[in-house]
């Protein structure tokens, strides 16, 4: 347990050597007890010798609650994931296990791996003493929706990860001591990713754009509500056979199999049409039309577009795509090049969370 024995000794004008003699301990043993985890027995002896209560010597640890965040919504830095939380006092923290994993520790590593790593000779040499002290004293907090023995966990103030990554990179550059290549690679990924995100955040702040983010999100939700129906409408034939014939001709397929429309055409339609209609429309369509237990989507995406805005925009887009196909002389690469110029893909998610290509092709 944490203690304030040093402070009490100063208040009473007693040295550690004098206290050690009073309670029958060596000075080295007492120093370890004061600077480490003191036992209840030792605290009682010291309290009696100093004529104070045990409570006067013990620092009761307050367990903060995480108000925001979850291990299911990690921060993505390149290919790495870090569960992150904002505590009730505003402190931003990464989970200890998350930091270990992001740096490249084995999934089977114990919870003490990080402590051993930051106190290794190569890393200690590159860390400021104050940073090292904070890394050796993680913040205990309670995660949202957790209970029982798993209710409390430990985390680190988020900027400490940057300090640690810089120490890893500096240690590797010194070449005096060997650093695992995985740790160095991941440290570089984290530093570069944070730099990109950080510069965007700084620009947002100084320009005042961040103040408008909530308003922009509300407007986007209203736009999507107008663009889409809440439920699937009756299916009607929206894509004319000429549309599929155009695609088949550009891909060198026979027109006689147009009516079969193999699954790959669904991927092309997503690419050519739904990802280019408007911002976030494709993401919202996937949410409204999730895959069933068989891995299939039960409706056509266009069944969720509103009659007032969504369908007219879709028909207009298809007409434009057909025109681009004609001027591209049925050449697929030329067609896609012209399509990107006329109808560039719209951002489908905010906060750097893009739709994986693998998800689109499922």
| Model confidence pLDDT, tens digit, residues 305-352 | 767 777 778 888 888 999 999 898 888 989 998 888 888 876 433 333
- The CA distance from 116 to 234, in Å, is 62
The reported pLDDT for the residue numbered 114 is 92
pLDDT averaged over every residue in the chain: 77
Look at residue 99 in the predicted model and tell me its pLDDT: 93
* Cβ atoms of 57 and 46 closer than 8 Å: yes
Residue-wise DSSP of 219-244? HHHHHHHHHB-SSPPPP---S-HHHH
Q: Is pLDDT of 362 > 50?
A: no
Q: How would DSSP label each residue in 116-166? A: HHHTSHHHHTTS-HHHHHHHTSPEEEEPTT--GGGSEEEEEETHHHHHHHH
| Mean pLDDT across 214-222 | 51
User: What is the pLDDT, as a whole number, of residue 304?
Assistant: 65
* Boundaries of every domain in the chain: 5-57, 64-207, 217-360
Q: According to the model, what pLDDT value does residue 351 have?
A: 36
CATH 1.10.260.40 given to domain 5-57: yes
Whether the CB-CB separation of 287 and 208 falls below 8 Å is answered with: no
Supply the pLDDT for residue 179. 86
Lowest-confidence region among 31-35, 205-209, 311-315: 205-209
pTM over 0.95: no
Mean pLDDT calculated for residue range 217-229: 49
Q: How confident is the model at residue 164 (pLDDT cuts 50, 70, 90)?
A: very high
The DSSP output letter for 344 is P
Q: What is the pLDDT of residue 231?
A: 46
Question: How far is 31 from 47, CA to CA, in rounded Å?
Answer: 16
pLDDT of 160 reads 92
Tokens of 24: 């029958």
Distance, CA of 326 to CA of 339 (rounded, Å): 12
pLDDT tens track for 252-295: 776 455 445 556 767 787 888 888 877 667 677 777 778 777 77
* Higher pLDDT pick, 287 / 106: 106
pLDDT tens digits, 119-148: 998 899 899 888 998 998 899 898 875 444
Question: How many whole angstroms separate alpha carbon 263 and alpha carbon 146?
Answer: 42
Task: Return the pLDDT at 37.
Answer: 65
- What is the band of 118 on the pLDDT scale with cuts at 50, 70, 90? very high
The number of angstroms, rounded, from the C-alpha of 19 to the middle of its chain's C-alpha atoms is 50
**Residue range 41-98, pLDDT digits in tens:** 888 888 888 888 888 887 777 788 888 877 777 887 777 888 888 888 888 889 999 9
Q: How many CA atoms lie within 13 A of 192 on its CB side?
A: 10
């Amino acid at each position: 347990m944490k203690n304030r024995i040093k402070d009490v000794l100063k208040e009473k004008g007693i040295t550690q050597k004098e206290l050690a003699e009073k309670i029958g301990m060596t000075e080295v043993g007492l120093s370890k007890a004061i600077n480490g985890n003191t036992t209840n027995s030792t605290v009682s002896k010291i309290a009696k010798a100093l004529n104070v209560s045990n409570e006067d010597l013990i620092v009761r640890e307050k367990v903060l609650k995480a108000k925001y965040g979850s291990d299911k919504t990690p921060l993505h830095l390149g290919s790495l994931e870090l569960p992150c939380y904002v505590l009730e006092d505003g402190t931003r923290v990464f989970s200890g296990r998350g930091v270990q994993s992001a740096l490249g520790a084995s999934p089977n590593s114990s919870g003490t791996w990080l402590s051993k790593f930051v106190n290794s000779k190569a890393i200690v040499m590159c860390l400021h003493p104050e940073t090292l002290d904070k890394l050796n004293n993680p913040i205990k907090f309670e995660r949202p929706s957790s209970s029982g023995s798993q209710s409390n966990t430990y985390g680190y103030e988020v900027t400490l990860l940057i300090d640690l990554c810089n120490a890893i990179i500096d240690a590797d550059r010194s070449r005096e001591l060997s650093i695992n290549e995985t740790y160095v690679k991941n440290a570089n990924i984290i530093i570069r990713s944070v730099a990109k995100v950080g510069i965007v955040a700084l620009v947002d702040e100084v320009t005042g754009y961040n103040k408008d983010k909530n308003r922009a999100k509300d407007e986007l939700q209203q736009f999507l509500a107008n663009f889409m129906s809440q439920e699937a409408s009756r299916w009607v034939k929206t894509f004319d056979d000429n549309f599929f014939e155009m695609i088949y001709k550009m891909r060198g397929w026979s027109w006689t199999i147009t009516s079969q429309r193999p699954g790959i055409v669904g991927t092309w339609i997503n690419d050519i049409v739904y990802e280019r209609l408007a911002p976030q429309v494709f993401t919202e369509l996937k949410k409204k039309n999730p895959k069933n237990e068989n891995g299939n989507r039960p409706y056509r995406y266009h069944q969720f577009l509103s009659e007032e805005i969504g369908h007219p925009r879709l028909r207009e887009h298809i007409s434009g795509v057909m025109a681009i196909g004609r001027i591209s002389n049925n050449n697929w690469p030329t067609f896609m090049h012209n399509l990107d110029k006329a109808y560039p893909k719209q951002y489908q998610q905010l906060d750097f969370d893009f739709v994986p290509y693998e998800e689109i092709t499922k």
